[in-house]
């Protein structure tokens, strides 16, 4: 099963992707996570991506398209995957369709997590992420058992650099300029499923799993 998760910053793409991964045993492919790791490891790609990410803008299409084209052909993707944060532009969506056609497949579900601005701001300002395993927590909605430490692996929790208020505003703006084009690209087919992402984590994941037939 191949799934795309669309939605603004803080909508819960990563959170829901991790739940789906657990249920269906297919990998989560987050371009944001892959890019953050490249920045941390100071690879050539990371050095190129850093300034775009720090400013809340998009990394150039050819960089992320290259990441995805390579990643989806790895062995663990043979039964499907969840794309979290890709595609983000029409060019990326078209490149994905092209790559999938060449591989003889297509996307099964496009889940668009919708949430209002107030929800998104609260989620981003309180988000904490594990430095070691990438698990997300939230100081208010999903706190870790020990302050500052990951429940899963004991790693240190940190706040993402781009979760600062001024960068968040830019990320929302960037999202809004691309969202409609993506929605109209996918909404012509029955696989496009908007989901109200304002509800609790459990309620949102129930809706998502109902769609996926889990």
129 belongs to the binding site for Zn ion (CB under 5 A): no
Closer residue to Mg ion, CB minimum distance, 72 or 124:
124
Query: Which residues on adjacent β-strands are paired with residue 6?
Result: 112
Which stretch in 88-96, 109-117, 141-149, 155-163 sits in contact with Zn ion by CB under 5 A?
A: 155-163
In the list ligand AP5, Zn ion, Mg ion, none, the entry touching 132 (Cβ below 5 to 8 angstroms by class) is Zn ion
- Say how many C-beta atoms besides its own lie within 10 A of residue 73's C-beta: 11
Distances 59 to 18, 45, 98, 202, 208 between C-alpha atoms, Å: 23, 10, 20, 32, 28
Q: Which 3 state secondary structure label does DSSP give 59?
A: coil
Q: Cα–Cα distance between 110 and 2 in angstroms, integer?
A: 9
Candidates 36, 5, 8; CA nearest to 124 is: 8
Does 85 sit near ligand AP5 (CB under 6 A)? yes
DSSP state string for 93-124: HHHHHHHHHHHT----EEEEEE--HHHHHHHH
Q: Measured from the CB atom, is 11 or 72 closer to ligand AP5?
A: 11
The interface with ligand AP5 within residues 27-46 (CB under 6 A) comprises: 31-32, 35
Among the candidate windows 101-109, 138-146, 150-158, 182-190, which touches ligand AP5 by CB under 6 A? Answer: 138-146
Of 103, 153, 169, 181, which lies in the binding site for Zn ion, with binding defined by CB under 5 A?
153
The closest alpha carbon to 182, from 172, 190, 192, 171, belongs to: 192
Binding status of residue 134 toward ligand AP5 by CB under 6 A: no
* Per-residue H/E/C for 164-194: CHHHHHHHHHHHHHHHHHHHHHHCCCCCEEE
**Residues 6+ positions from 83 with CB-CB distance below 8 Å:** 2, 3, 4, 5, 29, 68, 96
181 binds, among ligand AP5, Zn ion, Mg ion, none (CB under 5 to 8 A by kind): none
User: In the set 7, 8, 12, 14, which binds Mg ion (CB under 5 A)?
Assistant: 14
Positions marked active-site? 13, 88, 127, 160, 171
Q: Residue numbers of the site for ligand AP5 (CB under 6 A)?
A: 7, 9-15, 31-32, 35, 52-53, 56-59, 64, 85-86, 88, 92, 123, 127, 136-138, 141-142, 162, 171, 200-201, 204
Q: Residue numbers of the site for Mg ion (CB under 5 A)?
A: 14
Q: Residue numbers of the site for Zn ion (CB under 5 A)?
A: 130, 132-133, 135, 150, 152-153, 155
């Amino acid at each position: 099963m191949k799934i795309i998760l669309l939605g603004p910053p803080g909508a819960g793409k990563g959170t829901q992707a991790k739940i789906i991964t657990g249920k269906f045993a297919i990998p989560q492919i987050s371009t944001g996570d892959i890019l953050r790791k490249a920045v941390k490891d100071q690879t050539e790609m990371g050095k190129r991506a850093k300034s775009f990410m720090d400013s809340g803008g998009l990394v150039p299409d050819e960089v992320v398209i290259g990441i995805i084209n390579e990643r989806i052909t790895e062995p663990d993707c043979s039964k499907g995957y969840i794309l979290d944060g890709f595609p983000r532009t029409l060019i990326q969506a078209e490149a994905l369709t092209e790559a999938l056609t060449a591989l003889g497949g297509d996307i099964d579900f496009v889940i668009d997590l919708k949430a209002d601005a107030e929800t998104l701001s609260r989620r981003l300002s309180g988000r904490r992420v594990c430095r070691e395993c990438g698990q997300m927590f939230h100081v208010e909605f999903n706190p870790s058992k020990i302050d500052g430490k990951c429940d899963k692996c004991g790693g240190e929790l940190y706040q993402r650099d781009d979760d600062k208020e001024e960068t968040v505003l830019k990320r929302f703006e960037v999202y809004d300029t691309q969202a409609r084009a993506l929605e109209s690209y996918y909404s012509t087919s029955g696989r496009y499923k908007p989901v109200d992402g304002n509800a609790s984590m459990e309620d949102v994941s129930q809706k998502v799993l109902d769609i996926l037939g889990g």
